[in-house]
Chain A
Amino acid sequence: MSSNTPSSSAGGVGSADAAAPRRNSKRPKYSKFTQQELPACKPILTPRWVISAFLLVSIVFIPIGVVSLFASRDVVEIIDRYETACVPQNFSNDKVSFIQSAVDKTCNRTLTVKKLMKQPIYVYYQLDNFYQNHRRYVKSRSDSQLKDNSSWNDVSSCKPEDMSNDQPIVPCGLIAWSLFNDTYNFSLNNQQLAVNKKDISWKSDRDKKFGKDVFPKNFQNGTLIGGNRLDPSVPLSEQEDLIVWMRTAALPTFRKLYGKIERDLQPNEVIQVTLLNNYNTYSFNGKKKLVLSTTSWLGGKNDFLGIAYLTVGGLCFFLALSFTVVYLVKPRQLGDPSYLSWNRNPAGH
């Protein structure tokens, strides 16, 4: 009563009219939103729903698994691990000194095609135990320098490969410094097998990340030579090996595209590979492999995804079955109030 005094004192007896708008202004506005009553869908996991969900997953997953497995099987791969074989016998105990010496590193390998390989056949080199994702390594690059000639001396992030003979290195950094420098020459029936090294890198990298006016400078001039040298007259945007190398791999076992062979290889054809085994993986026991591979719609040869899909699909099928069985054996009526704890407890005691 007393709290009403201000409003009712103003209008006296006839204060009802005056109070009405006031009340309206204070009363919370009614809307479905403010009352938390927005129309909503309330899905409930009914057994039927659950079983169909599992069935659906298995119906989708098993075929995908089968198809992926087939795709992976269709891929023909020739893998040749050569880092041990290409070390002469007399260096077999000290491979590091071999690779650091000035001995001729040429090595001949023979690959036999087992199945028909349709073009394009991708030539990769595969490194093992090479941590291109090492923190020190991935940080040691200068994107601005690669892109733009004017920032050629922006090498602060490139340590320890930033300067050589007090001059900035272009391209600087550990990644560029350690550029892979084994080379492969393929010949089939004594005929040179052309390897197309064009367009092996991402177009986006060539266009936007590596400048057309940036030329290698002062590169591999230091005390310690890490890897390949670059032709100072070719702009970085055309140094595709470098561009591929600089897309650092995510995992310690990785392949890098070397080139493409653009002709079919028939079964039982023998390919002679003359390679220069220059790259030092011996200091960290890294393996080097040469890989020739066709591709499928799913990429390279990897059974994992197919198996994974089959497993998940199979599991879901099994779950669907077992839920059906359980549902048939021991059904529970949904929303049956007799299951409520306060209805159940009396019986339980």
Chain B
Amino acid sequence: MDSKTPVENLYSVEPALNSSSRRSNFSIPSKASGGNSIREVNFSDLGSKPVRYGSRGADSDTYSTSQKEINDEDARLVHINDPVKTNERFEFAGNSIQTGKYSILTFLPRNLFEQFHRVAYTYFLVIVVLNQLPQLAVFSREASFMPLTFVLLVTAVKDAYEDFRRHRSDRIENNTLASVLVNDQFQQKKWKNIQVGEIIKIQANETIPCDMVLLSTSDPTGVAYVQTINLDGESNLKTRYAKQETLLKIPEKEKVTGLIKCEKPNRNIYGFQANMEVDGKRLSLGPSNIILRGCELKITAWAVGVAVYAGRETKAMLNSSGAPSKRSRLETHMNFEIIFLSLFLIALCTVVSVCAAVWLRRHRDKLDYLPFYRRKHFSGGEEDNYNYYGWGLEIFFTFLMSVIVFQTMIPISLYISMELVRVGQAYFMIGDTQMYDESSQSRFQCRALNINEDLGQIKYVFSDKTGTLTENKMEFQCASIWGKDYSGGKAMSQDQEDGYFVQVDGKVLRPKMKVKTDPELLQFARSGKEMKECGHIHDFFLALAACNTIVPLILDTPDPTVKLIDYQGESPDEQALVYAAAAYGFMLIERTSGHIVIGIQGERQRFSVLGLHEFDSDRKRMSVILGFPDKSVKVFVKGADTSMFSVIDRSLKINVIHTTETHLYSYSSLGLRTLVVGMKELSTSEFEDWHSAYEAASAALMGRTTLLRKVANNIENNLYLLGASGIEDKLQQGVPEAIESLRTAGIKVWVLTGDKQETAISIGYSSKLLTSKMTPIIINSNSKESCRKSLEDAIIMCKKFTTISGTTNNTGRTSRAGLTPVALIIDGTSLVYILDSELEERLFQLSCNCSVVLCCRVAPLQKAGIVALVKNRTLDMTLAIGDGANDVSMIQMADVGVGISGQEGRQAVMASDFAMGQFRFLVPLLLVHGHWNYQRMGYMILYNFYRNAVFVLVSFWYVLFTCFTLTTAISEWSGVLYSVIYTSVPTIVVAVLDKDLSRRTLLKYPQLYGAGHKQECYNKKLFWITMIDAFWQSAVTFFIPLLAYWGSTIDASSIGDLWTLAVVILVNLHLAMDVIRWNWITHAAIWGSIIATFICVIIIDAIPSLIGYWAIFEIAKTRLFWLCLLAIIVAALIPRFVVKVLYQLYTPCDVQIAREAEKFQTQIESGAVEIEMNPILDPPRS
């Protein structure tokens, strides 16, 4: 209101505004990296600068504005309010979006093109094409096309449906209306017609149609609040600013013209750089001046902006891409076997073609007249060779034909089945009520669909601390003010009447969250600033209320006289501090860029914000310069203890500083996050100096961030220590138990945190990551040499512990459990010297011997470095779990990335493969679902290999009895349907539904997870056993009918039907033999498939035009047929059954015993057994 009346004030608001715009232009990238430094690293340490994660941080911002002016050729020129001129070369996209991939015309070619990107489909296609050559036509045209068409059709229908939905949502979005300035008045225009350069007006709660630079808003200072939930999932409000120069222009009345020169469209939603020339002035624009498509305007009544990027060039559209794809370990292993199978296929084909070559050579004189060969063709009068291309070519053709006939040796259908199975598994994981988080109402999410089975083989878990192990719900716990510790607020007393409130215009304002208060401190805080002690307390809370970037929102309640204040901000620490200040009577009520209103003990006071130096990772502190109503100017600073104590005036009250340091130490050993608060009063000259420097720096076009940092550093010194605060970050529910379970399961849990060492260790103890039995080894080094030395010492020490305890315990019961477990605690500074140097190897050695590794004060990129350290040196699977943007790199680096969808933004979730609400869900995810998925997928792959091999081998045996000429007795339609109808459903159903053990057992004995570590369900040995079994079964299937029908009147179609049915029943019974849990769906799938096969065979044999007409009826009449069938099935399955029985009864694996225990538990469940089982749960196995 009157912020602009004093003339000099007008000018002082500008830099303030500018700086706060700068601030948030920082704090938004901070979500990506720096911001977590606000909360995760807690003003403490982010490691050295070069190892910062990503390029989106403040540095890049600095970089861009300071060093890089936008080149003309890299720039996009936008003439404000002149779309025609702007886009005169028609190079900018319109605002209509098309997320749909296909149009009706392009659907077929594009979809086919995309589908054939998969190798498997191309293989299919090549085989089909080969089959179309007349020389090679093994199958009829229809039959050869069918499998490929089927698969393509299914995928195409799926794609078409998805695309249809996209088109529909596109249409809705494109036809939404927005008001656009046309001929000096705002008119409704469809979104799709908006063009770059046009001026658009957005009303409150409207979605923004394209990326626009703000010109003016309803707020006199040019602030606009936007919610970016559609963009990055963060629900808190972000502030955006219109430039002062354009703020007062009203587009309807005066023509706004100008030129915006901005960078080319890119996908960085946290960065934007541009210049705007208005009225001859050149202004620089940053990310805080742009509002992006998909965001919603909140609180602000209206905002006017000019479109700079539209349609597909908006940042939101450029960012809409799927999760990164990873390939599962099992699939990688499987591909080796696939290569082997290809070799085997080639071997089979070679055998056939060599035999054919020998046969042709031996009969070369007779070929012309052999009644079943008849090389000569006489019909045309002259004699010529019919369908014969010479010996060599015939062999070559035989080879190709055998590839066509034996093509299913490579189980192409396996890839499709695996996709289906993973969808099914994901369905059950998502639907698991035990992985549903009540508090955040979030379900489990499966973002990557191709690594489900990897969850069963995880060996290392890398966990973030804040927000992952802890709730990231900050709670103000205690404060040390002027050397006095106030940590009494244990119980919230009833007489507090819902905490503190302020009355304004007859309305009661109340903070939304209540905070436990210390009664003594509350007393002091209320008693005014008369006493000296109370003066410090006053300043302390004023600092907490003022020195932050929190935006208070006034919310209505059902009671019209009561309003709630909700503090919106990006840092949970700041929120906690502001709520705490409010509880002690310093309530932040209003914040604009120029002033703040704080209700101090019920009295509204207005302070002008003269300047704000935002947090950055170098200074690790922030400061605000407040102009008091009594014209005095004070600077309030808060920051990490290390950075604060260096700028505190040590000459003052040295004992206060000492006690504060002691308090800080005790706070952090309680696991609290600490912040130190200081202030100083500025004299007029000091203020003048600062002000001019600040103004100059803010107005600078080049290197503004660096200049501002310099200004901040100048003012933030010789501070007067006020005190320190301790904020508790509560441990999530069930974390200690979860860590315990994971460790028992043989999974190593590493915690990587940005927190201080003391905090990290104390959290380590409270989460049972560290136990009193463990010997901690701590490495804090400041140089490479000392790093090397401490690593070597640590390795020796580690060896000593393990061997000594090993020998002493020789008499004892255990060897591994008896070792003194060693915990390694290492900090980020040491890691700087270790990672990417030859010391890595030693660190790896050391950490392998340690049961726990705890890394503190690590920068985001270091987290990824540590994951890489393990991932690159072992074959073990790694999993990274985290919630913040700082965990993104680690999540992407690990084999499996899990995001916690919690307090912080959704970047971790966006980058993750799986997302869930709580850390403890990791236990059911890994121990239960991971175990199941791994077992199921492993079995399914082996079974698919077997299934196809049996079928191919039966065909192969037959070829040996047909002069090696690739005749198939099994009708070609049965061959096609074999993997589509006859045998596909049971394997998918079993792979989705079968459970080797119940959830209860798996959670009770986490050690059972070791099955995945030992690769029990899929390994080379199993593969070979399976293939030998397939060989035996195919031989039995083929030779029993062969010998039984040798020299009889049997015709090819009839015996082919016998083979078809025998193989199908055999493979289905083989599966049935391995099914562990029979529920009705399994029954239906297996028996249904056998029945379906009979029906299909009957249908095929009821078609008169096919060669096998009525064969099944003729052969089914004979008893020999049924006896053959029975003999085949029993004889084929006996070896497998015997091996299985021997294995299960005499060398049972843990899973087997647990399964038996599960079944017979009811009988033997007695106290004695239970007691005997208890030691199992003893954790240390490391």
How far, in angstroms, from A302 to B1079 measured CA to CA in the complex? 43
Which residues 1096-1147 of B have a CB within 8 angstroms of A? 1104-1107, 1109-1110, 1113-1114, 1118-1120, 1123-1124, 1127, 1130-1131, 1134, 1137-1138, 1140-1141, 1144-1146
B420-436 contact mask (Cβ, 8 Å, vs A): 1 or 0? 00000001101111001
Q: Which 3 A-B pairs have the closest CB atoms?
A: A335-B1156, A204-B1110, A335-B1157
CB distance from B1053 to the nearest CB of A (A): 8
**Given A227-B371, A340-B1005, A346-B815, A134:B962 Cβ within 8 A:** yes
Q: Show 26 residue pairs from A and B whose CB-CB distance is below 8 angstroms, ordered by the A residue.
A: A2-B568, A26-B442, A27-B441, A28-B443, A36-B993, A135-B963, A135-B966, A136-B965, A159-B387, A160-B374, A160-B379, A163-B380, A205-B1110, A208-B1104, A254-B1048, A283-B371, A298-B1119, A299-B1119, A305-B1044, A308-B1043, A315-B1134, A334-B1156, A334-B1160, A335-B1157, A337-B1157, A346-B815
Partner of B1153, one of A204, A256, A340: A340
Give A residues with C-beta under 8 Å from B: 1-6, 9, 11-14, 22-23, 26-30, 34-36, 38-45, 47, 50, 53, 57, 61, 64, 68, 124, 126, 130-138, 143-144, 147, 159-164, 174, 177-178, 202, 204-205, 208-209, 222-224, 226-227, 247-257, 280, 283-284, 297-300, 302, 304-305, 308-309, 312, 315-316, 319, 323, 326-327, 330, 332, 334-343, 345-346, 349
Q: Out of A248, A342, A345, which one reaches B1052, CB within 8 Å? A: A248
A161: B residues at CB distance < 8 A: 374, 379
Q: Are B1161 and A205 in touch, CB under 8 angstroms?
A: no
Report B-chain residues with C-beta under 8 Å of the C-beta of A50.
1141, 1145
A297 to B1119, CA, bound (A): 7
A335–B997 alpha-carbon span in the complex (Å):
13
| Pick from B430, B555, B999, B1052: contact of A249, CB under 8 Å | B1052
Q: For residue B1120, give the distance in angstroms from its CB to the closest CB of chain A.
A: 5
Residues on A with C-beta less than 8 A from B564 are: 12-13
CA distance A93 to B1113 in the complex (A): 46
B1160–A133 touching, CB < 8 Å: no
Whether the pair A26, B443 counts as a contact (CB closer than 8 A) is yes
Once bound together, how far apart are the Cα atoms of A158 and B669, in whole Å? Answer: 92
Q: Is the CB of B1181 within 8 A of A302?
A: no
Alpha-carbon separation in the docked complex, A340 to B999 (Å):
18
Q: In the complex, what residue of chain A is closest to B359 when comparing beta carbons?
A: A131
- Find B1127's partner among A42, A159, A251, A308 (CB 8 Å cutoff): A308
20 extra interchain contacts, Cβ-Cβ under 8 A, other than A45-B1145, A144-B1105, A251-B1042? Answer: A3-B235, A3-B902, A5-B568, A34-B427, A34-B432, A38-B1079, A130-B371, A133-B962, A136-B374, A143-B1105, A159-B387, A160-B379, A174-B371, A204-B1114, A254-B1047, A255-B1047, A327-B1145, A330-B1146, A340-B1005, A341-B1149
- A5 touching B235 by the CB < 8 A rule? yes
The smallest C-beta distance from B771 to any residue of chain A, in angstroms, reads: 19
* Among candidates A68, A312, A341, residue contacting B1150 with C-beta atoms closer than 8 Å: A341
Closest to A285 in B: B366
Q: Which residue of B lies closest to A96 (CB)?
A: B369
Q: Is the CB of A133 within 8 A of B436?
A: no
A289: nearest residue on chain B (CB-CB)?
B1047
Q: Which residues of A contact B1045 (CB under 8 A)?
A: 250-251, 302
CB neighbours of A45 from chain B (8 A): 1140-1141, 1144-1145
The interface bits of chain B over 1019-1048 (1 if a CB of A lies within 8 angstroms of the residue's CB, else 0) are: 000000000000000000000101111111
Which B residues lie at the A interface, using CB under 8 A? 235-236, 363, 366, 369-374, 376-380, 386-387, 427-428, 430-433, 436, 438, 440-443, 473, 513, 553, 555-559, 564, 566, 568, 572, 575, 813-817, 902-903, 961-963, 965-967, 969, 993, 995, 999, 1005, 1007, 1010, 1040, 1042-1056, 1076-1082, 1104-1107, 1109-1110, 1113-1114, 1118-1120, 1123-1124, 1127, 1130-1131, 1134, 1137-1138, 1140-1141, 1144-1146, 1148-1150, 1153-1161, 1164, 1169, 1172-1173, 1175-1176, 1181
When the two chains form their complex, are residues B1146 and A28 in contact, meaning their CB atoms are under 8 A apart?
Answer: no
Residues of A within 8 A of B816 (CB): 345
B1153 touching A337 by the CB < 8 A rule? Answer: yes
Residues B1104 and A252 in contact, CB atoms below 8 Å apart: no
Alpha-carbon distance A174/B374, docked complex (angstroms)? 8
Contact status B1130-A57, CB under 8 Å: yes
Instruction: State which of A42, A283, A332, A335 has its C-beta within 8 Å of the C-beta of B366.
Output: A283
Chain A residues within 8 Å of B373, by CB? 134, 136-137
A29 to B1053 CA separation, bound complex (whole angstroms): 51
**Pairwise interchain contact A300-B1048, C-beta atoms closer than 8 A:** yes
Residues of B within 8 A of A159 (CB): 377, 386-387
Best-surrounded residue of A29, A204, A256 (most CB of chain B within 10 A):
A204
Contact flag A164-B379 (CB < 8 Å), given A249-B1051, A312-B1127: yes
- A9 touching B566 by the CB < 8 A rule? yes
**In the docked arrangement, what's the CA distance between A225 and B1092, Å?**
46
CB distance from A69 to the nearest CB of B (A): 12
Q: In the complex, A42 Cα to B1113 Cα: how many Å?
A: 37
Task: Decide: A337 near B1169, CB < 8 A? Known: A29-B431, A284-B370.
Answer: yes
Query: B1052 contacts A133, CB within 8 Å?
Result: yes
Contacts of A302 in B (CB 8 A): 1043-1048
Q: A2-B903, A44-B1156, A337-B1172 are in contact. Are A255 and B386 (CB under 8 A)?
A: no
Report whether B1010 and A341 are in contact in the complex, using a CB–CB cutoff of 8 Å.
Answer: yes
Closest B residue to A208 by beta carbon equals B1104
In the complex, what distance in Å separates the CA atom of A280 from the CA atom of B236?
Answer: 94
**Which residues of A are found within 8 Å of B1113, using beta-carbon distances?**
204
Query: Smallest CB–CB gap between B236 and chain A, Å?
Result: 5
A248 to B1081, CA, bound (A): 42
Query: What CA separation (Å) do A135 and B373 show in the bound complex?
Result: 9
Q: A335–B1173 contact, CB under 8 A? A: no
B366 to A, closest residue via Cβ: A283
Chain B nearest Cβ from A231, distance in angstroms = 21
Expressed in whole angstroms, the minimum distance between the Cβ of A283 and any Cβ of chain B is 5
The docked-state distance in angstroms from the alpha carbon of A132 to that of B1148 is 51
Inside 8 A of A209's CB, which chain B residues have their CB? 1104, 1109
How far is it, in angstroms, between the C-alpha of A133 and the C-alpha of B427 when the chains are bound?
Answer: 49
Q: How far is the CA of A204 from the CA of B1106 in the complex (A)?
A: 13
CA distance A196 to B386 in the complex (A): 39
Which of A43, A68, A255, A349 sits near B1048, CB closer than 8 Å? A255
Q: Given the known A-B contacts A44-B1156, A254-B1048, are A133 and B969 also in contact in the complex, defined by CB atoms under 8 Å?
A: yes
A135 B1049 Cβ-Cβ under 8 A: no
Nearest CB of chain B from residue A156's CB, rounded to whole Å: 11
**Chain B residue at minimum C-beta to C-beta distance from A336:** B1153
The chain B residue with its CB closest to the CB of A286 is B371
A250 x B1051 contact (CB < 8 A): yes
**When chains A and B are docked, how far (Å) is the Cα of A3 from the Cα of B433?**
21
Are A13 and B558 neighbours in the complex by a CB distance under 8 Å? yes
Q: Report the minimum CB–CB distance from A25 to chain B (whole Å).
A: 9
CB distance from B733 to the nearest CB of A (A): 16
Closest to A51 in B: B1141
Tell me if A13 and B993 are in contact (CB < 8 A).
Answer: no
Could you tell me if B1052 and A250 are in contact, using CB atoms closer than 8 angstroms?
yes
CB <8 Å contact, B372 and A250? no
Complex CA distance for A293 and B1172, rounded to whole angstroms: 72
Task: Give chain B residues whose Cβ lies under 8 Å from the Cβ of A304.
Answer: 1043-1044, 1046
CB distance from A236 to the nearest CB of B (A): 14
Given A2-B903, A340-B1150: A43 touches B372 (CB 8 Å cut-off) = no
* Cβ contact within 8 Å between A28 and B430: yes
Query: Nearest chain A CB to B287's CB is how many angstroms away?
Result: 21
Chain B residues, CB < 8 A from A144: 1105
Bound-state Cα–Cα, A62 to B816, Å: 54
Cβ-closest chain B residue relative to A36: B428
Quick one: given A174-B372, A304-B1043, are A160 and B386 in contact (CB under 8 Å)?
Answer: yes
Given the interface contacts A14-B558, A337-B1176, does A41 sit within 8 Å of B1052 by beta carbon?
Answer: no
Interface centre among B428, B473, B1005, B1045 (most CB of A within 10 A): B1045
Which of B372, B374, B433 is in CB contact (< 8 Å) with A27? B433
